[in-house]
Amino acid sequence: MEATYVILAPVTIVAALGLLVVRKAVHAALCLAVVMIGLAMLYASLDAPFLFAVQIIVYTGAILMLFLFVLMLVGVDTSDPMRETIAGQKVLAALLGLGLGLVLVIGVVQASLGTMKGLSDANAGGNIEALAALLFSRYVVAFEATSALLITAAIGAMVLAHRERLEPRQTQADLARRRVRDFAVRGTHLGPLPPPGTYARHNANDTPALLPDGSSADSSVPALLSGPGANGKDGGE
């Protein structure tokens, strides 16, 4: 267990510090994954299989994937405003950080002085059995209150995310009529533009596609390649 702790603890601490110093949200999510997996390995080395499974399944497998889905949907190009939007949040964060540090210091001191119950006593009869006995006897009220809070939060998220449809859903015929109307009024293309290289002699991105009449579709070439800075060279095979 000591060797596992010596290896995993520095890696977890470095990844946790990476959450504070990295600038890209994707890199922060990867650091968070390392922290969660490191904690799971530490739980396994401390003979806590239930916490190990919960850490992997719930936090690493569900919550972290939720973070990644949010990054993919929202994007990582938008910059967060540096102005404080909630009054007093920095002071509150500092107080909570000091409280967490105090709890950690007290735990380390108690473990060093030997006043805490050892793992052999805490896991007597099995880790999962001992944990279940505590949850459904001594901490049953807090456990049920937490369950009710999580269910309320889930229902509240569903209610807030739900939007009533004020207009009927457009059918395929409605979309086709709108495309034809936009083409008649503004000259918008009826369908998607052909991609570069389609029906062309080369597969380079700067080679325009050919229309059914044999003429070139200049709109199929990206503006970056067809602009004044383009070199005009053929990069195809």
Residues ≥6 apart with Cβ < 8 Å to 203:
197, 236, 237
Whole-number Å distance between alpha carbons of 47 and 123: 8
Residue 50 near residue 20, CB atoms below 8 Å: no
3.40.50.300, 1.20.120.1200, 1.10.599.10, 3.40.1190.20: which CATH number matches 1-76? 1.20.120.1200
Phi-psi region of 24 (alpha: psi -120 to 50; beta: other; left: phi over 0): beta
How is residue 35 written in tokens?
């922290």
Q: How far from chain centre, in Å, is Cα 232?
A: 41
CA–CA distances in Å: residue 226 to residues 8, 171, 203, 234: 53, 37, 15, 12
Q: Which amino acid is at 233?
A: K
Q: Where are the domains of the chain?
A: 1-76, 178-226
| Residue 236 confidence (pLDDT) | 42
The count of other CB atoms within 10 Å of the CB of residue 73 is 7
Whole-number Å distance between alpha carbons of 34 and 41: 11
To the question of pTM greater than 0.75 for the whole model, the response is: no
Q: Which amino acid is at 102?
A: L
Whole-number Å distance between alpha carbons of 78 and 81: 9
Whole-number Å distance between alpha carbons of 217 and 199: 11
Per-residue pLDDT of the chain (237 residues; tens, 9 = 90+): 677 778 888 888 898 888 888 887 778 888 888 888 888 888 888 778 888 888 888 888 888 787 777 777 765 555 555 666 667 778 888 898 898 888 878 877 776 776 666 666 666 677 778 778 888 888 889 888 988 998 998 898 888 877 777 777 878 888 888 888 888 888 777 776 656 555 545 666 777 777 777 788 787 777 776 655 544 444 444
User: What angle, 0 to 180 degrees and rounded to 10, lies between the N-to-C axes of helices 64-74 and 25-45?
Assistant: 170
Q: How far from chain centre, in Å, is Cα 209?
A: 39
Q: Which amino acid is at 177?
A: R
How is residue 95 written in tokens?
């107080």
